[in-house]
Chain A
Amino acid sequence: MSKLILPSYLDQNEAVKDRFERMKKRPVTLQVKSLYKEFATPQGKVVALKDINFETYKREFVCVIGPSGCGKSTLIRILAGLETPTSGEVLLDGTAVTDPGPDRGMVFQGYTLFPWLTVKKNVMFGLEMSGHGNKNSEEQALQWIDLVGLSKFANAYPHQLSGGMKQRVAIARALANQPRILLMDEPFGALDAQTRAKMQNYLHEIWKNIDVTILFITHDLDEAIYLADRVLVLKAHPGEVQEVIEVSVPQPRSPEQLLSPEFLATKRRLEELIHPPEEEVGINEDKMNMVRMVDVDNEVESVF
Chain B
Amino acid sequence: MFSKLFAVRKKLDSKQRVYFSILSFLVPMIIWSLISYVPYIWHPKVEVTDVGDVVYFSKGMLIDREAFDKEVEVASAAEKKLPQGFPANPVYLPAPHEVATALYSAFMTEPRRKNEKWLHESLWDSIQVIFWGFVISSIFGVPLGILAGTYDVFSRLFEPFVEFFRYLPAPAFGALAVAILGIHEAPKIAIIFIGTFFQQVLVVSNTTRKLDPALLEAAMTLGAKRLTLLFRVVIPGIVTHLFKDLRILLGWAWTYLIVAELIGTSSGITWFITQQARYKNFDNVYAAIIIIGIIGFTTDIVLAHIGRKIFPWEKGTAKA
Contact = CB atoms under 8 A, between A and B. Distances in A.
Contacts of B214: 108, 110, 112
A129 B223 contact: yes
A159 B315 contact: yes
A114 B217 contact: no
A160 B218 CA distance: 20
A114 B223 contact: no
Interface in A152-206: 157-160, 170, 173-174, 177, 183
A159 B317 contact: yes
Interface centre among A81, A110, A114, A116, by most B CB within 10 Å?
A116
B214 to A, nearest CB: 5
B313 A126 contact: no
A126 B237 contact: no
B298 interface: no
A177 B217 contact: no
Contacts of B217: 80, 82, 100, 106, 108, 112
A116 B236 contact: yes
Contact of B218 (A101, A108, A157): A108
A82 B219 contact: no
B312 interface: yes
B287 to A, nearest CB: 43
B170 interface: no
Contacts, number: 78
B179 interface: no
A157 B233 contact: no
A130 interface: yes
A131 B223 CA distance: 10
B220 A157 contact: no
A157 B215 CA distance: 15
Given A129-B224, A159-B317, A116 B237 contact: yes
Interface in B234-267: 236-237, 239-240
Interface string A72-109: 00000000111000000000000000011110111010
A158 B215 CA distance: 13
A170 B218 CA distance: 9
A114 B228 CA distance: 14
Contacts of A112: 212, 214-215, 217-218
B215 A102 contact: no
Contacts of B311: 116
B223 A177 contact: yes
A126 B317 contact: no
B224 A114 contact: no
Nearest to A113: B218
A61 interface: no
A102 B236 CA distance: 21
A216 to B, nearest CB: 15
Contact of A126 (B215, B222, B233, B236): B222
A126 B228 CA distance: 11
Nearest to B222: A126
A238 B315 CA distance: 45
A86 B259 CA distance: 58
A115 interface: yes
28 contacts: A80-B221, A81-B220, A82-B220, A82-B221, A99-B220, A100-B221, A102-B221, A102-B223, A106-B217, A108-B218, A112-B214, A112-B217, A114-B215, A114-B218, A114-B233, A114-B237, A115-B237, A115-B313, A115-B317, A117-B313, A125-B222, A125-B232, A157-B313, A158-B316, A170-B218, A174-B221, A174-B222, A177-B223
Given A105-B222, A112-B214, A114-B236, 5 more contacts: A105-B221, A110-B212, A129-B223, A159-B313, A159-B315
Interface of B: 212, 214-215, 217-224, 228, 232-233, 236-237, 239-240, 311-313, 315-317
Q: Which A-B residue pairs are the 9 nearest by beta carbons?
A: A159-B316, A102-B223, A126-B222, A100-B220, A129-B223, A112-B218, A106-B221, A157-B313, A116-B236
Interface of A: 80-82, 99-102, 104-106, 108, 110, 112, 114-117, 125-126, 129-130, 157-160, 170, 173-174, 177, 183
